[in-house]
Amino acid sequence: MKKDILSMDLPELTEEIKALGQPAYRAGQIYKWLHQAGENSFDGMTNLPKALREQLHDNFVIFGCSIEKKLISEYDETVKYLFRLHDGECVETVLMKYKYGYSVCVSSQVGCRMGCKFCASTLNGVVRNLAASEILSQVYTVQRDNGVRVSHIVMMGMGEPFDNFDNAMRFLRLVTDENGLNLSMRHISLSTCGIVPGIYRLAEENLQLTLSVSLHAPNNALRSSMMPVNKKWPVETLIKACKDYTSATSRRISFEYALVSGVNDTPACARELAALLKGMLCHINLIPVNEVAETGMKKSTTDSVRRFEALLAERGFAVTVRRTLGSDINAACGQLRRSSMK
Ligand code: SAH
């Protein structure tokens, strides 16, 4: 079996290249081609001798993404991709343009097994984890296709990063490597549905990234009805883990709260949420839920969103309402892949 070269860090690649009887400095050249130039074929690595390129062919594979579908928003230049992977499976990736630069939303799994009731990615369960290379290659392919350099990454696409923990960490190390894309860890957000052991493992890594926690409800009855993961790690356990995370890393947590009309968007919910998060170093991001036909959930009215936001702001919380980008191109989680499966 050919080895996944794009998932290797420079020391690992160096060992592999030495094992082929090649000088170690070749590994540095190959690594730059892969991670700085975004080269996706060995033949394109023009400063390598032909014999070495052939050895690379025989021993390694570069896991890339091919563009299966591409949608460009007419409103805000958001570009949404359906990428096909080497085994034919598909994942979604989104490029968003902000004042501060380009941000890419990457997927970490094909499908998802978390079962959140409002989410399209999970409707058919999980198919498989992505390798670190397959997460990276989403970023590289988006850069190449748009001729841009990405400055921010959010791990908020399809899948649960903590259900694919090791590959997610490897991806983070590679994408922030100074010999590669060299992104700042501070420009990366990772979102979890609330897998508590993952929060503790991430705290041990002590990274400067932003941890986003998909909370979506202020109490167990409501949260369990929206997110099955809450039955395993209930609200009090999750909030304790978040507090421990902040103590360990001094990093502010960002709570995601998707507002569903008549479900979790009442003033009583806002007050209960404020009581739950009282005193925490956190940010609350409100998201009018993206409507997915199969879920039957309706998004909150603009008035309910404003009222919810005001109730939190009055209580001293840093709260924002997420700008919905790409609303004309189904940029909501999992909907593009589903439409292509039907
Ligand atoms: N599995 C991780 C990351 C992927 S989902 C997590 O759950 O956090 C990224 C974010 O989109 C999460 O906050 C998720 O709850 C939210 N989300 C999923 N479906 C949504 C929808 N239909 N509308 C709004 N937000 C949604």
User: Is the CB–ligand 1 distance for residue 333 below 6 Å?
Assistant: yes
Choose the final residue of a domain: 18, 40, 61.
61
User: Is the CB–ligand 1 distance for residue 94 below 6 Å?
Assistant: no
- Asked if residue 176 and residue 55 are part of one domain, the reply reads no
- Residue 24's pLDDT is what? 97
Q: What pLDDT, in 10s, does the model give residues 104-114?
A: 999 999 999 99
Distance 214 CA to ligand 1 centre (A): 7
> What residue's CA is closest to ligand 1, atom 12?
214
DSSP label of 218: S
- Asked if residue 256 and residue 330 are part of one domain, the reply reads yes
Q: What pLDDT, in 10s, does the model give residues 258-293?
A: 999 999 999 999 999 999 999 999 999 999 998 888
pLDDT band at 332 (very low <50, low <70, confident <90, very high): low
User: What's the one-letter identity of residue 313?
Assistant: A
- Asked if residue 201 and residue 177 are part of one domain, the reply reads yes
What CA–CA distance (Å, rounded) separates 79 from 310? 32
User: What's the one-letter identity of residue 146?
Assistant: N
- The question of whether 204 is a catalytic residue gets the answer no
User: Is the CB–ligand 1 distance for residue 311 below 6 Å?
Assistant: no
Cβ proximity of 192 and 232 under 8 Å: no
- Asked if residue 47 and residue 78 are part of one domain, the reply reads no
- Nearest ligand 1 atom to the CA of 334 is 19
- Residue 322's pLDDT is what? 83
**Section 205-224 average pLDDT:** 98
- Asked if residue 128 and residue 115 are part of one domain, the reply reads yes
> What residue's CA is closest to ligand 1, atom 19?
119
- Nearest ligand 1 atom to the CA of 287 is 24
* Nearest C-alpha neighbor of 337 from the set 159, 180, 211: 159
> What residue's CA is closest to ligand 1, atom 7?
193
What CA–CA distance (Å, rounded) separates 34 from 22? 18
User: Is the CB–ligand 1 distance for residue 213 below 6 Å?
Assistant: no
**pTM assigned to the model:** 0.96
pLDDT band at 249 (very low <50, low <70, confident <90, very high): very high
Domain extent for 37: 3-61
User: Which of the following is catalytic: 90, 193, 282, 333?
Assistant: 333
Choose the final residue of a domain: 61, 84, 104.
61
pLDDT band at 256 (very low <50, low <70, confident <90, very high): very high
> What residue's CA is closest to ligand 1, atom 17?
119
**Section 174-200 average pLDDT:** 98
- Residue 195's pLDDT is what? 98
Kindly state the greatest CA–CA separation across the chain: 69
- The question of whether 333 is a catalytic residue gets the answer yes
Q: What pLDDT, in 10s, does the model give residues 27-85?
A: 999 999 999 999 999 999 999 999 999 999 999 999 999 999 999 988 888 999 999 99
Choose the final residue of a domain: 17, 43, 61.
61
> What residue's CA is closest to ligand 1, atom 15?
214
Strand partners for 77: none
> What residue's CA is closest to ligand 1, atom 4?
156
- Asked if residue 51 and residue 120 are part of one domain, the reply reads no
User: Is the CB–ligand 1 distance for residue 192 below 6 Å?
Assistant: yes
DSSP 163-195: GGHHHHHHHHHHHT-TTTT---GGGEEEEES--
User: Is the CB–ligand 1 distance for residue 190 below 6 Å?
Assistant: no
- Asked if residue 45 and residue 77 are part of one domain, the reply reads no
User: Is the CB–ligand 1 distance for residue 118 below 6 Å?
Assistant: yes
DSSP 136-154: HHHHHHHHHHHT--EEEEE
Q: Choose between 188 and 337: higher pLDDT.
A: 188
pLDDT band at 339 (very low <50, low <70, confident <90, very high): confident
User: Which of the following is catalytic: 92, 160, 256, 309?
Assistant: 92
Residue with tokens 């790690």: 233
- Asked if residue 231 and residue 134 are part of one domain, the reply reads yes
Distance 67 CA to ligand 1 centre (A): 23
- Asked if residue 124 and residue 15 are part of one domain, the reply reads no
Which CATH number fits the domain that encloses residue 85?
Answer: 3.20.20.70
- Asked if residue 253 and residue 291 are part of one domain, the reply reads yes
- Asked if residue 156 and residue 34 are part of one domain, the reply reads no
- Asked if residue 109 and residue 18 are part of one domain, the reply reads no
Residues of the chain with pLDDT > 90, as a percent, come to 89
- How many structural domains comprise the chain? 2
pLDDT band at 330 (very low <50, low <70, confident <90, very high): low
Which CATH number fits the domain that encloses residue 9?
Answer: 1.10.150.530
